[in-house]
Chains A and B, each alone.
Chain A
Amino acid sequence: MLDFSRDHFALFDLPASYALDGARLDQAYRDIQSEIHPDKFAHAGEAEQRLSMQWTTRVNEAYQTLRRPFDRANYLLQLQGIHAMDANNTSMPMDFLMQHMEWSEELADAKAAQNVAVLDRMEKTLRDEAREFQAQLADEIDQKHDYPAAGETLRKLRFTDKLLAEVGNAYEEIA
């Protein structure tokens, strides 16, 4: 009997690391979907239809988790017993918080003034910062195995991702 609770990496036969062969993940995901997707069982019996839905749901969840750098890192830390996103896990360096507060204000001003140039600049800065955190995560998780440090980087990345999403929304409000 296949183990439903195997970790996401094992499901796709991939090494459990932050660095990921995206093409291989995509291929494994599609290969599995081609065998188990509900469309392949539309004319099958009830039991097979139900199993197909459960399996596809499981495979979709695993794929979505591994595909996104943030979710993949968070998941790897969970496998190490570290719940970086717990509500009581909030330690953040002061200077980082100050910088983000400044950016938030800048964003609000740019929105009010309908200043697209500022949004463009912010988006670029934030993208660069997110990329930097991702590189840091790869180093902390795969090389140094320093999971608590990776937890902090991940929390920072979430701040940056959130602000990036807000910049995205601001474009739409201005448009």
Chain B
Amino acid sequence: MALLQISEPGLSTAPHQHRLAVGIDLGTTNSLVATVRNGVSVVLNDAHGHGLLPSVVRYLKDGSTSVGLAAQAQAAEDPHNTIISAKRFMGRGIKDIPDLSTMPYKFVDAPGMVQIKTAAGVKSPVEISSEILKVLKARAEASLGGELVGAVITVPAYFDDAQRQATKDAARLAGLNVLRLLNEPTAAAIAYGLDNAAEGIYAVYDLGGGTFDISILKLTRGVFEVLATNGDSALGGDDFDRRIYCWVLEQAKVHTLDDRDKTLLMARAREAKETLSEHTSAHITVVLSTGEVVNLTLSEETFNEMTASLVNKTLLPCRKALRDAGLTAEEVKGVVMVGGSTRIPRVQAAVGDFFGQTPLTNLDPDKVVSLGAAVQANVLAGNKSGDDWLLLDVVPLSLGLETMGGLTEKIIPRNATIPTARAQEFTTYKDGQTAMSIHVVQGERELVADCRSLARFELRGIPPMVAGAARIRVTFQVDADGLLSVNARELGTGVESHIAVKPSYGLGDDEVARMLQDSYAHAQDDMTARNLAEAKVDGRRLVDATETALKENGATLLDEAERTQVEKLLTGLHAALDGYDLAAVKRATEMLNQGTVEFAARRMDMSVKKALTGQRLDALEL
């Protein structure tokens, strides 16, 4: 077989060196980064040996930020500028956020997503989250001694499209190449399943700081198939803290709290909750700004009483998920507990009762998500792993369109395996109508007003016809990240116009560029150098992929002339990668991309054929 071997200065000559990839759990309360090292998934610690990074960002007047423990320690002293639990605001408008009064922030109502006014200017939740991701990226690169190829970022399974898009934007803003958005319970299932060689039906109950997910999975010989998922993206440990907070106000008969007191009392409430996971009572002592001293004892019994409705609130999604999966609780072989809030004894008891078995608590509920994400990142980056496994995940909430009368027409049902696509035809309502307004929504309710609005766009240029004569085909495509794109096309007369949309909460490329510019102006970085570096990473990835493909199938799937052509384009890209001309790198990458389309198609055909042949052989063996 004719092999192509090109070595290049500045690039490793070993074509299959270990690619550095990480899994990041961007949590409401804490965030972590993990990687696969010598075949084992490990959490990466900071210089002080801490694995958990508190998801707290403090903005200072000079525009700089502090993130993590240091920021957390200053929260009560600087409540307006120290943002805790920013994940709760991702992809959310101001009207979506409950308990505004218990939070000290200066919210700014902005189109699409709420923003917060800080000493360093108005910040969006995407920017705040990106500060956390930047710290984790730096930690990983320091620890692994090189630049990351990419990262898998986890999101709650019940996150809707706007929240997913916001998370991906935050990662881009932090300079991370997102290999995949991965659902948190699915990540936990990977970590648990691979470790325990688990087979059968498993439930993952994931109660984090601000979100709740329940996923039902079927594990069979290396296939992780999500059957159904449900949850509440605004329910978590924070709500338990808030119950304690309100109880303290009531007991102590305190009415006016300043923002320092609010932050302080919320922190004490959290500590009390944590104490109650180990003890039967907890003391809460707070000295308020007025000098008043609050001193209370909270018993486990009282705590259980005041939070019973929250615990119950998690059981309805469990019931719904089981029903969607067509299963009963008895058919579940094991219940994996994930998220810090599953340490609450009453939560464990309620879940045990519901599923009729003791939940599995033998893994660290804080770390398991990042460990699973790291395993996935390792595979996606192209590092060969010993065991071959496959992940089949679903879309959590139905996706649809607004039709006449403010009703929802579902196009993609919840729990459809991704990637998935579905098309539906619509028609015009009035004679001579030349435009159609398309409103994309997500949710299970009948009325559009009760669902989440994701995007609105207009299809123009419909030829004037009588009402009902035009045929508009609207196609929804959900990719492997669970992200939606929509396009509409007029078919009636053969005239086609189409548009692809991103949810209105998603940031445009120009917005990301502006935000990057803002943050880098501060860091005195050079945008051009950064763009060049990114283009080179893309180019190198394509070189790698193409060389591997040529080595594997070049001799069989391409004739001499085709092979020479691909090799020529490869040489061209190699040359461009040696230089410093951004446009040349982009051009050469695009040319190689175009030049390998046919090769890619043949390889894909071969893969499908190979799978089917394997299937026939299996059938024969039976």
Contacts and interface: CB of A to CB of B under 8 A. Distances in A.
A and B associate in one complex: yes
19 contacts: A28-B612, A28-B615, A32-B612, A33-B223, A35-B608, A36-B604, A36-B611, A39-B379, A42-B179, A42-B379, A43-B380, A45-B542, A45-B545, A47-B593, A47-B600, A51-B600, A61-B421, A64-B416, A172-B320
A43 B15 CA distance: 13
Contact of A45 (B600, B605, B610): B600
A30 B545 contact: no
Interface in B385-422: 388, 390-392, 416-421
Interface in A1-33: 1-2, 12-13, 24, 27-28, 30-33
Interface residues of A, number: 38
B515 to A, nearest CB: 25
Nearest to A63: B417
Interface stretch (A52-60, A92-100, A131-139, A144-152): A52-60
A60 to B, nearest CB: 5
A34 B611 CA distance: 8
B260 interface: no
Contact of B604 (A34, A39, A52, A64): A52
Contacts of B592: 45
Interface string B275-292: 000000000000000000
Given A43-B541, A45-B546, A53-B480, A60 B180 contact: no
Contact of B601 (A1, A12, A30, A46): A1
A19 to B, nearest CB: 16
B612 A43 contact: no
Interface in B245-300: none
Nearest to B614: A31
Given A53-B480, A57-B477, A13 B612 contact: yes
Contacts of B604: 36, 48, 51-52, 55
Nearest to B417: A60
B479 interface: yes
Given A35-B611, A64-B417, A172-B316, 17 more contacts: A1-B601, A12-B615, A32-B612, A33-B223, A35-B610, A37-B392, A37-B480, A38-B480, A39-B376, A39-B380, A43-B544, A45-B593, A45-B600, A48-B549, A57-B420, A60-B418, A171-B319
B106 interface: no
Interface of B: 19, 179-180, 220, 223, 316, 319-320, 323, 376, 379-382, 388, 390-392, 416-421, 477, 479-480, 541-542, 544-546, 549, 592-593, 596-597, 599-601, 603-605, 607-612, 614-616, 618-619
B562 to A, nearest CB: 14
Nearest to B152: A42
A172 B319 contact: yes
A44 interface: yes
A2 B180 contact: no
B560 to A, nearest CB: 21
Nearest to B619: A24
- Of A13, A28, A47, A51, most B-chain CB atoms within 10 Å: A47
A115 B531 CA distance: 65
Contacts of B382: 42-43
A30 B439 CA distance: 35
Contacts of A27: 615, 618
A13 B616 contact: yes
Given A28-B612, A53-B419, A61-B421, A42 B380 contact: yes
Contacts of B323: 168
Contacts of B416: 60, 64
Contacts of A87: none
Given A38-B419, A53-B419, A60-B417, A47 B597 contact: yes
Contacts of A63: 417
Nearest to A28: B615
Contacts of B316: 172, 175
Contacts of A31: 611-612, 614-615, 618
Contacts of A53: 419, 479-480
Contact of A43 (B480, B545, B597, B618): B545
Contacts of B609: 2
A160 to B, nearest CB: 16
Contacts of A42: 179-180, 379-382
A34 B220 CA distance: 13
A34 B593 contact: no
Given A34-B388, A47-B597, A48-B545, A57 B421 contact: yes
B601 A51 contact: yes
Nearest to B593: A46
